[in-house]
Amino acid sequence: MDILKEISENLELGDFEKVSLLTKKAIEEKIPVEKILKFGLIGGMDIVGEKYKTHQIFLPDVLMSARAMHAGMDVLKPFFIREGMPNSGKVILGTIQGDLHDIGKNLVGIMLKGAGFEVIDLGTDVSPEKFIETAKKEAAYIIGMSALLTTTMPMMRKVVELLKKEGLEDKVKTIIGGAPVSKDFAQSIGADAYGYDSTDAVESVRKLFNQA
Protein backbone atom coordinates (compact mmCIF):
# COMPACT_ATOMS: atom_id res chain seq x y z
CA MET A 1 0.00 0.00 0.00
CA ASP A 2 1.06 3.59 -0.63
CA ILE A 3 2.96 4.58 2.51
CA LEU A 4 1.24 8.00 2.71
CA LYS A 5 -2.12 6.26 2.66
CA GLU A 6 -0.86 3.92 5.35
CA ILE A 7 0.17 6.90 7.50
CA SER A 8 -3.22 8.51 6.99
CA GLU A 9 -5.08 5.29 7.85
CA ASN A 10 -3.10 4.66 11.02
CA LEU A 11 -3.59 8.26 12.00
CA GLU A 12 -7.33 7.72 11.67
CA LEU A 13 -7.01 4.71 13.98
CA GLY A 14 -5.07 6.82 16.48
CA ASP A 15 -2.07 4.48 16.41
CA PHE A 16 0.61 7.04 17.25
CA GLU A 17 3.45 4.52 17.48
CA LYS A 18 2.75 3.20 13.99
CA VAL A 19 2.38 6.70 12.55
CA SER A 20 5.75 7.61 14.03
CA LEU A 21 7.39 4.50 12.56
CA LEU A 22 5.75 4.92 9.15
CA THR A 23 6.78 8.58 8.98
CA LYS A 24 10.40 7.52 9.62
CA LYS A 25 10.04 4.85 6.93
CA ALA A 26 8.63 7.37 4.45
CA ILE A 27 11.65 9.62 5.05
CA GLU A 28 13.98 6.66 4.46
CA GLU A 29 12.13 6.03 1.21
CA LYS A 30 13.08 9.61 0.24
CA ILE A 31 9.51 10.87 0.01
CA PRO A 32 9.67 14.68 0.30
CA VAL A 33 8.85 15.75 3.86
CA GLU A 34 6.35 18.38 2.65
CA LYS A 35 4.48 15.60 0.90
CA ILE A 36 4.45 13.39 4.02
CA LEU A 37 3.09 16.30 6.03
CA LYS A 38 0.47 17.36 3.50
CA PHE A 39 -0.86 14.02 2.29
CA GLY A 40 -0.03 11.66 5.15
CA LEU A 41 -0.61 13.70 8.30
CA ILE A 42 -2.78 16.70 7.40
CA GLY A 43 -4.65 14.59 4.83
CA GLY A 44 -5.42 12.03 7.55
CA MET A 45 -6.58 14.69 10.00
CA ASP A 46 -8.87 16.19 7.35
CA ILE A 47 -10.64 12.84 6.99
CA VAL A 48 -10.90 12.55 10.78
CA GLY A 49 -12.36 16.08 11.02
CA GLU A 50 -14.93 15.27 8.34
CA LYS A 51 -15.94 11.99 10.02
CA TYR A 52 -16.33 13.81 13.33
CA LYS A 53 -18.48 16.49 11.77
CA THR A 54 -20.77 13.87 10.29
CA HIS A 55 -20.95 11.97 13.63
CA GLN A 56 -19.23 8.83 12.30
CA ILE A 57 -16.64 9.07 15.09
CA PHE A 58 -16.50 10.72 18.51
CA LEU A 59 -14.34 13.28 20.27
CA PRO A 60 -11.99 10.69 21.90
CA ASP A 61 -11.30 9.21 18.43
CA VAL A 62 -10.39 12.66 17.10
CA LEU A 63 -8.08 13.29 20.01
CA MET A 64 -6.32 9.94 19.60
CA SER A 65 -5.76 10.81 15.95
CA ALA A 66 -4.42 14.21 16.95
CA ARG A 67 -1.88 12.50 19.18
CA ALA A 68 -0.80 10.36 16.23
CA MET A 69 -0.52 13.51 14.10
CA HIS A 70 1.78 15.09 16.68
CA ALA A 71 3.90 11.91 16.77
CA GLY A 72 4.38 12.18 13.00
CA MET A 73 5.13 15.90 13.19
CA ASP A 74 7.79 15.27 15.84
CA VAL A 75 9.59 13.02 13.34
CA LEU A 76 9.34 15.65 10.61
CA LYS A 77 10.30 18.69 12.70
CA PRO A 78 14.13 18.33 12.43
CA PHE A 79 13.83 18.49 8.64
CA PHE A 80 12.18 21.89 8.79
CA ILE A 81 14.52 23.51 11.28
CA ARG A 82 15.98 26.05 8.85
CA GLU A 83 12.87 27.27 7.11
CA GLY A 84 10.38 26.25 9.83
CA MET A 85 7.46 23.86 9.44
CA PRO A 86 5.32 24.88 6.44
CA ASN A 87 1.92 26.00 7.65
CA SER A 88 -1.36 27.32 6.41
CA GLY A 89 -1.10 30.43 8.61
CA LYS A 90 -0.40 31.60 12.13
CA VAL A 91 -2.99 31.79 14.90
CA ILE A 92 -2.45 33.32 18.33
CA LEU A 93 -4.70 31.50 20.78
CA GLY A 94 -5.50 32.08 24.44
CA THR A 95 -8.10 32.24 27.19
CA ILE A 96 -9.01 35.83 27.96
CA GLN A 97 -7.86 37.72 31.05
CA GLY A 98 -9.55 36.71 34.29
CA ASP A 99 -10.41 33.24 33.01
CA LEU A 100 -8.45 30.05 33.65
CA HIS A 101 -10.54 27.53 31.69
CA ASP A 102 -8.40 25.87 29.09
CA ILE A 103 -9.88 22.57 27.88
CA GLY A 104 -12.03 24.16 25.16
CA LYS A 105 -9.20 26.42 24.04
CA ASN A 106 -6.81 23.42 23.98
CA LEU A 107 -9.20 21.42 21.80
CA VAL A 108 -9.44 24.30 19.35
CA GLY A 109 -5.63 24.52 19.25
CA ILE A 110 -5.29 20.78 18.63
CA MET A 111 -7.74 20.87 15.71
CA LEU A 112 -6.14 23.97 14.19
CA LYS A 113 -2.71 22.32 14.34
CA GLY A 114 -4.24 19.22 12.81
CA ALA A 115 -5.46 21.37 9.92
CA GLY A 116 -1.91 22.60 9.35
CA PHE A 117 -2.02 25.99 11.08
CA GLU A 118 0.77 27.18 13.32
CA VAL A 119 -0.72 27.83 16.73
CA ILE A 120 0.96 30.02 19.32
CA ASP A 121 -0.84 29.17 22.54
CA LEU A 122 -0.52 31.92 25.14
CA GLY A 123 -2.31 29.85 27.79
CA THR A 124 -4.93 31.26 30.14
CA ASP A 125 -5.56 34.66 31.76
CA VAL A 126 -4.14 36.49 28.73
CA SER A 127 -4.36 40.29 28.75
CA PRO A 128 -5.59 42.15 25.64
CA GLU A 129 -2.18 43.84 25.35
CA LYS A 130 -0.41 40.47 25.35
CA PHE A 131 -2.63 39.16 22.51
CA ILE A 132 -1.83 42.19 20.37
CA GLU A 133 1.85 42.37 21.24
CA THR A 134 2.28 38.69 20.26
CA ALA A 135 0.27 39.06 17.06
CA LYS A 136 2.53 41.94 16.03
CA LYS A 137 5.74 40.18 17.01
CA GLU A 138 4.79 36.96 15.24
CA ALA A 139 3.13 38.69 12.29
CA ALA A 140 0.09 36.49 12.89
CA TYR A 141 -3.10 37.06 10.94
CA ILE A 142 -5.48 35.68 13.54
CA ILE A 143 -6.14 36.10 17.25
CA GLY A 144 -8.39 33.41 18.76
CA MET A 145 -9.90 34.10 22.17
CA SER A 146 -11.74 31.78 24.53
CA ALA A 147 -14.03 32.68 27.49
CA LEU A 148 -16.11 30.39 29.67
CA LEU A 149 -17.58 33.05 31.94
CA THR A 150 -19.90 35.95 31.18
CA THR A 151 -17.82 38.06 33.54
CA THR A 152 -14.70 37.74 31.39
CA MET A 153 -16.34 38.14 27.97
CA PRO A 154 -16.10 41.97 27.96
CA MET A 155 -12.31 41.64 27.82
CA MET A 156 -12.69 40.26 24.29
CA ARG A 157 -14.19 43.56 23.21
CA LYS A 158 -11.09 45.29 24.52
CA VAL A 159 -8.87 43.27 22.16
CA VAL A 160 -11.01 44.26 19.17
CA GLU A 161 -10.99 47.91 20.25
CA LEU A 162 -7.23 47.96 20.80
CA LEU A 163 -6.65 46.48 17.34
CA LYS A 164 -8.75 49.28 15.84
CA LYS A 165 -6.96 51.89 17.91
CA GLU A 166 -3.63 50.70 16.55
CA GLY A 167 -5.01 50.60 13.00
CA LEU A 168 -4.46 46.84 12.80
CA GLU A 169 -8.01 45.71 12.06
CA ASP A 170 -7.17 44.77 8.46
CA LYS A 171 -3.91 43.05 9.33
CA VAL A 172 -5.16 40.99 12.29
CA LYS A 173 -8.53 39.23 12.41
CA THR A 174 -10.28 38.02 15.55
CA ILE A 175 -12.25 34.87 16.26
CA ILE A 176 -13.94 34.12 19.57
CA GLY A 177 -15.57 31.13 21.25
CA GLY A 178 -16.52 29.48 24.56
CA ALA A 179 -19.73 28.32 26.23
CA PRO A 180 -21.41 31.69 26.96
CA VAL A 181 -20.15 33.30 23.73
CA SER A 182 -22.46 33.48 20.70
CA LYS A 183 -22.46 34.67 17.11
CA ASP A 184 -24.54 37.68 18.16
CA PHE A 185 -22.05 38.59 20.85
CA ALA A 186 -19.19 38.27 18.34
CA GLN A 187 -20.99 40.65 15.99
CA SER A 188 -21.83 43.08 18.78
CA ILE A 189 -18.17 43.52 19.75
CA GLY A 190 -16.96 43.64 16.16
CA ALA A 191 -15.07 40.31 16.21
CA ASP A 192 -14.50 38.89 12.72
CA ALA A 193 -15.71 35.36 13.43
CA TYR A 194 -17.22 33.01 15.99
CA GLY A 195 -16.61 29.28 16.40
CA TYR A 196 -19.19 27.05 18.04
CA ASP A 197 -16.77 24.16 18.59
CA SER A 198 -13.33 23.00 17.50
CA THR A 199 -14.35 21.83 14.01
CA ASP A 200 -16.34 24.99 13.45
CA ALA A 201 -13.25 26.92 14.61
CA VAL A 202 -11.15 25.27 11.87
CA GLU A 203 -13.72 26.15 9.20
CA SER A 204 -14.03 29.74 10.37
CA VAL A 205 -10.26 30.20 10.53
CA ARG A 206 -9.90 28.75 7.03
CA LYS A 207 -12.55 31.18 5.80
CA LEU A 208 -10.74 34.13 7.36
CA PHE A 209 -7.49 33.10 5.66
CA ASN A 210 -9.25 32.62 2.35
CA GLN A 211 -10.70 36.11 2.57
CA ALA A 212 -7.26 37.57 3.32
Partner 1 sequence: MRKRFEISVEDIEPQMDEVLKTQGIPSDKSPPEKVKSLFQESKDIFLKYSEPVGIISDISVFEFETVYRGEGLNEKETPLDEILNKADNLVLFALTIGERVSEKIRELFKTNDFALGCMLDSVASAGTDKGGDVLEENFFNLLSKKGKVNLQKCILRFSPGYCGWHMSGQKKLFEFLNPEDIGINLTDGFLMIPLKSISGVIVFGDKEIFNFDDNYPFCSECTTHECKDRIRKLFRDLRPEKEKGGR
3-class DSSP state of 173: strand
Span interacting with ligand B12, options 11-19, 30-38, 118-126, 174-182, rule CB under 6 A: 174-182
**Contact, 107 vs 97, CB < 8 A?**
no
Q: Does 103 bind partner 1 (CB under 8 A)?
A: yes
Element (H, E) at 144: strand 142-146
**Candidate residues 67, 130, 157, 206; the one interacting with partner 1 per rule CB under 8 A:** 67
Helix ranges (H only) for 14-121 are: 16-28, 33-35, 43-53, 59-76, 103-114
Q: Does 123 bind ligand B12 (CB under 6 A)?
A: no
Q: Does 169 bind ligand B12 (CB under 6 A)?
A: no
Q: Which does 177 bind (CB under 5 to 8 A by kind): ligand B12, partner 1, none?
A: ligand B12
Q: Does 61 bind partner 1 (CB under 8 A)?
A: yes
**Candidate residues 30, 54, 60, 167; the one interacting with partner 1 per rule CB under 8 A:** 60
Cα separations (Å) of 88 from 118, 206, 207? 7, 9, 12
**Candidate residues 64, 92, 93, 142; the one interacting with partner 1 per rule CB under 8 A:** 64
Which residues are bridge partners to 175 per DSSP? 144, 193
